[in-house]
C-alpha cells in the first residue's frame, strides 16, 4: 500500500510531500507481518532489522513519555500492560519481569513500585496502545508523515529512500543500495547480468548446500526439544544507551540452571580498521554469543550440554539458527564456543544494541 494523500476539496492547495498520511488504522487491524520481528527470514538482511522509531510530529512529548516502558525505556509497538498505579510495561518486559517470575516461587510485581500483578488479571493499557499506533510520525529517511503503526511497512515497501537488493540476488549478487538510479545503474553493469547457466552452476550449488545445512540444523534444534533433561531461560538485553562496546565481550544475562550459575556474553564484531564507517548501511557486522560457567568450583565433573539461543517472541529481529552440541563444561573449561547470532549492517546492529535491545530464549539440555 502506498502513501495516500488526505482527501481535500478540489479548490484546496496540493499537500506537501511531508503531509501525506495513511488513513486511520486501529491497532488490532495492523497485520502481524507489519509488527517488528513477525514472519521474518533470518537471512533477509533488508527485512530482518530493528523497528523504525520515526520522528514525532503529532503528539504531546510529555504524554508520550508516560507510555515508555518503565524497564527497557522504549516506545512499544504491540501490547501495553500497566500496574494499578499506571506504570507502563511493554509485552516483552511483562513476560520477563512478571510472568516468568510466577513460574518459580516469586510473585509477579511491578518492576517500579512493587505492587502485586496477577497473571489471570492482566491490566491492558488499551488507550496507550491506540495512541502509539495512531501517533503521527515522520519517516527518518524520506520525511513522509504517517501513523506509527504502519511505519515498518512503509520502511520495507513504500519508502522512496529504502535499501533494495539487486534483482539477481537469487543467483548470487549481494549488492544492495538505495532505490532509484543507483539500482538501475548497478543492474545494467551487474556481473550476473550476462552469466550463463554453466557459469552459475558452482555458485548455485554452494547456495543450495547452505540451505540444506540450515534445514539440517533446524532439524537438530527440533530434536533438542525432545530431550528429557531440558530447561529454558528467558534472556533480555536492555538498550545500551551509553553504547555497546565493539569487538569486546559484554555480559547480558546471569541465571542459574542445573545447579550452576551461568552467564551469556555478547560480542559485537566490527571491522577493526575503522572507528566508524562513513557508509554504515553497507558495512557488514555480526553479533556473537558465548555461554560461560560462572561457578566452576561447584562443578564436580564434566557437565555436558547442548544448547541454542533463539529470538524471543517480542524481539524486533530473528536470530540465525545456531546449535552448540555436546559441550563439556569443567573447572578448566568454562566457556562454550563463540557462536554467530545475528548478521547485518553496522547501522542495524547499532540500532538493535543501543536503541531497541532484544529478547531471547536459551534452550539447554543436559546430555
- pLDDT score of 101: 66
In a domain, 133, yes or no: yes
Same-domain pairing of 350 and 290: yes
Q: For the chain of 367 residues, list the mean pLDDT of each consecutive stretch of 10.
A: 35 43 46 50 88 85 89 90 91 85 70 84 89 92 92 91 90 88 87 87 90 95 92 93 93 92 96 84 94 90 94 93 95 95 95 95 94
Bridge partners, residue 289, by sequence: 266, 339
Distance in angstroms (rounded) separating the CA atoms of residues 260 and 254:
11
Distance in angstroms (rounded) separating the CA atoms of residues 303 and 15:
66
Query: Which domain range does residue 326 map to?
Result: 228-366
Q: What is the CATH number of the domain that holds 98?
A: 3.30.40.10
In a domain, 118, yes or no: yes
Same-domain pairing of 351 and 244: yes
Please count the structural domains in the chain: 3
Same-domain pairing of 168 and 89: no
pTM: 0.85
Same-domain pairing of 233 and 323: yes
| Cell output for 366 | 543436559
In a domain, 262, yes or no: yes
With left for phi above 0 and alpha for psi between -120 and 50, is residue 38 left, alpha or beta? beta
The last residue of a domain, from among 101, 133, 158: 158
Same-domain pairing of 182 and 81: no
- pLDDT score of 270: 93
In a domain, 9, yes or no: no
The CA–CA distances, whole Å, from 356 to 6, 77, 182 equal 32, 11, 30
Amino acid at each position: 500500500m502506498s502513501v495516500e494523500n488526505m482527501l481535500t476539496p478540489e479548490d484546496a492547495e496540493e499537500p506537501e510531500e511531508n503531509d501525506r498520511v495513511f488513513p486511520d488504522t486501529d491497532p488490532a487491524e495492523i497485520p502481524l507481518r507489519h509488527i517488528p520481528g513477525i514472519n521474518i527470514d533470518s537471512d533477509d538482511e533488508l527485512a530482518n532489522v530493528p523497528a523504525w522509531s520515526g520522528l514525532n510530529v503529532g503528539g504531546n512529548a510529555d504524554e508520550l513519555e508516560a507510555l515508555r516502558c518503565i524497564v527497557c525505556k522504549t516506545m512499544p509497538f504491540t501490547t501495553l500492560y500497566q500496574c494499578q498505579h499506571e506504570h507502563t510495561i511493554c509485552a516483552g518486559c511483562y513476560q520477563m519481569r512478571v510472568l516468568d517470575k510466577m513460574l518459580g516461587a516469586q510473585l509477579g510485581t511491578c518492576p517500579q513500585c512493587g505492587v502485586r500483578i496477577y497473571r489471570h488479571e492482566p491490566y491492558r493499557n488499551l488507550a496507550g496502545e491506540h495512541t502509539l499506533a495512531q501517533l503521527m510520525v515522520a519517516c527518518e529517511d524520506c520525511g513522509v508523515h504517517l501513523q506509527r503503526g504502519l511505519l515498518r511497512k512503509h520502511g520495507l515497501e513504500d519508502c522512496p529512500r529504502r535499501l533494495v537488493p539487486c534483482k539477481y540476488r537469487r543467483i548470487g549478487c549481494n549488492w544492495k543500495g538505495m532505490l532509484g538510479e543507483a539500482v538501475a545503474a548497478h543492474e545494467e553493469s551487474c556481473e550476473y547480468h550476462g552469466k550463463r547457466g554453466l557459469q552459475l552452476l558452482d555458485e548455485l550449488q554452494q547456495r543450495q548446500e547452505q540451505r540444506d545445512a540450515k534445514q539440517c540444523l533446524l532439524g537438530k534444534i527440533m530434536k533438542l526439544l525432545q530431550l528429557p533433561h531440558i530447561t529454558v531461560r528467558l534472556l533480555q538485553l536492555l538498550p545500551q544507551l551509553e553504547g555497546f562496546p565493539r569487538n569486546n565481550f559484554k555480559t547480558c544475562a546471569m541465571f542459574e540452571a542445573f545447579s550452576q550459575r551461568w552467564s551469556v556474553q555478547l560480542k559485537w564484531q566490527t571491522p577493526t580498521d575503522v572507528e566508524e564507517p562513513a557508509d554504515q548501511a553497507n558495512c557488514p557486522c555480526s553479533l556473537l554469543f558465548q555461554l560461560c560457567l560462572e561457578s566452576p568450583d561447584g562443578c564436580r565433573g564434566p557437565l555436558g550440554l547442548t544448547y541454542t539461543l533463539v529470538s524471543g517472541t517480542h524481539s524486533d529481529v530473528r536470530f540465525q539458527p545456531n546449535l552448540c552440541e555436546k559441550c563439556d563444561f569443567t573447572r578448566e573449561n568454562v566457556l562454550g564456543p563463540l557462536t554467530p547470532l545475528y548478521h547485518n549492517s553496522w547501522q542495524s546492529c547499532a540500532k538493535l544494541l543501543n536503541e531497541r535491545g532484544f529478547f531471547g530464549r536459551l534452550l539447554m539440555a543436559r546430555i
